[in-house]
Structure 1
Amino acid sequence: MPTVARTIYFENGAGRIWEEPTAYLRLEYRPGPREEVQFRALLNHLAQALVRRGWNSILVDQRHMTPFSPSEQAWMLNEWLPRAVRESGYRYGAVLVAHNVFARLAMSPLVLGARELGHTYRTFETETEAEAWLAAPNRN
């Protein structure tokens, strides 16, 4: 039986979005500084892909990511995440943690804010663990 490959949905200087054959999206952040316009475009395309596919899960690969700027963090927490949950059906985020400790710390407010929205983030060190959690029928 042929294996179905993942396909690129969108990419720019901030990162890349993949459609995985097992019904979730994969967001890969690029290393280095980001332009905020590209960052916002990347996440807006991510929300659109959730709607287009009717999926509710994202594997977020932050391993090579630099920390979020204060404005990126505020936009994600106050605008993008609530809208993605409410309008795009985003429910589960499996996060491959950043190697950069400051990038890891920048995720804390998002994880706390997500709980209030009925969204679940889990962090993982390996892709295998993250993929297994996304595939599990009960993700609590």
Structure 2
Amino acid sequence: MISKSARSLYFENSIGRIWEEPEGFLRLEYRAGLREPVQFRALLTHAVQALSRRRWEKMLVDQREMAPLSPGEQEWMATEWLPRAVQEGGYRYGAILIANNVFARLAMNQYVMASRGQSHAYRTFETEETAVAWLLAQPKPLG
């Protein structure tokens, strides 16, 4: 388990938080409840900026409290956000802590299917320990 005191808060809004972990990855934590579209896009845009700034490729996405993604959110993430995160942010590996809400799980599965073809790997996990272990086992960037 990662020491919470060692992490650094990068960004926070009503949708969630982005932490910089000392092990070299971002942690994106979604809050419970409905999402306002501008705040949702701002959170994910800041994640791309943080990846780029740190030159990191890995993100732990904690969806345990997340409400289901709307069709519009899924579409925006698959067609705009993920391509930008991969190309501009260098995003390559996403470890997803799956949502407690079954409908949120189904919406995430639909998003993952729609985003195939990007040079990016997602894996889902039930526990934080296994998610972090998988992220840390992924190759480090060259250079």
Using the size of structure 1 for normalisation, the TM-score is: 0.93
Cα deviation code 1:79-107 (max 9, x no counterpart):
00011111111000000000000000111
Instruction: Report if the CA contact (8 A) 1:114-1:121 is conserved.
Output: no
> Helix, strand or coil for the counterpart of 2:96?
strand
Q: What do you get for the CA RMSD once the two structures are aligned?
A: 1.5
CA deviation string 1:51-104 (max 9, x = no partner): 000000000000000001111111001100011111111000000000000000
Equivalent pairs counted in the alignment come to: 137
Residue aligning to 1:97: 98
My pick for the range that moved more, 31-40 or 114-123, is 114-123
What SS does the corresponding residue of 1:116 show, helix, strand or coil?
coil
**Does residue 28 of structure 1 match 2:29?**
yes
- C-alpha distance in 2 between matches for 1:55 and 1:110: 23
Q: One-letter code of the match for 1:49?
A: A
Q: CA deviation at 1:138?
A: 5.1
Which consecutive unaligned segments of at least 5 residues does structure 2 have? none
TM-score by structure 2 length? 0.91
Cα distance per residue 1:38-57 (max 9 Å; x no partner): 00000000000000000000
Residue aligning to 1:54:
55
Contact 1:30 1:64 in 2 (8 A): yes
